[in-house]
């Protein structure tokens, strides 16, 4: 039998890194893995380990708008995110952490 618990994270960031190899649009077409790596490094640098988690996600169904970054449980979505946008996403996470 499964166990149900609340998320242990205040902010859980999912970065879609789905890669269709160019056959159809996918988030990996535009450096989503680099976005994820940079976000993870930035979050680690803030000392939020155990409070903010950056995870890879599979396709979230809005591939044409990728790279997509989703933040839960706050239900925020960022689309067309480039590595240059990581600081802006981090600022939002910082605000969410200050409000927690």
Residue closer to ligand FES by CB (options 27, 90) is: 27
Residue 97 sits in the site that holds ligand FES (CB under 6 A): no
99 φ, ψ to 5°? -90, -10
| Binding span for ligand FES by CB under 6 A among 1-9, 42-50, 53-61, 84-92 | 53-61
Min. distance of Cβ 40 from ligand FES in angstroms?
17
Query: CA 21, CA 40: separation in Å to the nearest integer?
Result: 24
Q: How many residues bind ligand FES (CB under 6 A)?
A: 11
What Cα–Cα distance (Å) separates residue 88 from each residue in 22, 73, 85? 28, 19, 5
Q: Could you tell me which residues are beta bridge partners of residue 15? A: 56, 69
Q: Residues 5 to 44: which contact ligand FES by CB under 6 A?
A: 16, 18, 26-27
Tell me the two tokens of residue 29: 């077409």
Judged by the rule CB under 6 A, the positions of this chain that interact with ligand FES are: 16, 18, 26-27, 59-63, 66, 68
């Amino acid at each position: 039998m499964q166990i149900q618990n609340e998320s242990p994270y205040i902010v859980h960031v999912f970065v879609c890194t789905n890669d269709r190899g160019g056959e159809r649009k996918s988030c990996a077409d535009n450096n989503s893995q680099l976005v994820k790596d940079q976000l993870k490094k930035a979050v680690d640098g803030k000392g939020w380990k155990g409070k903010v988690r950056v995870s890879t996600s599979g396709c979230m169904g809005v591939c044409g708008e990728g790279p997509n970054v989703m933040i839960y449980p706050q239900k925020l979505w960022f689309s067309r995110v480039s590595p240059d946008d990581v600081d802006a996403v981090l600022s939002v996470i910082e605000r969410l952490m200050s409000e927690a």
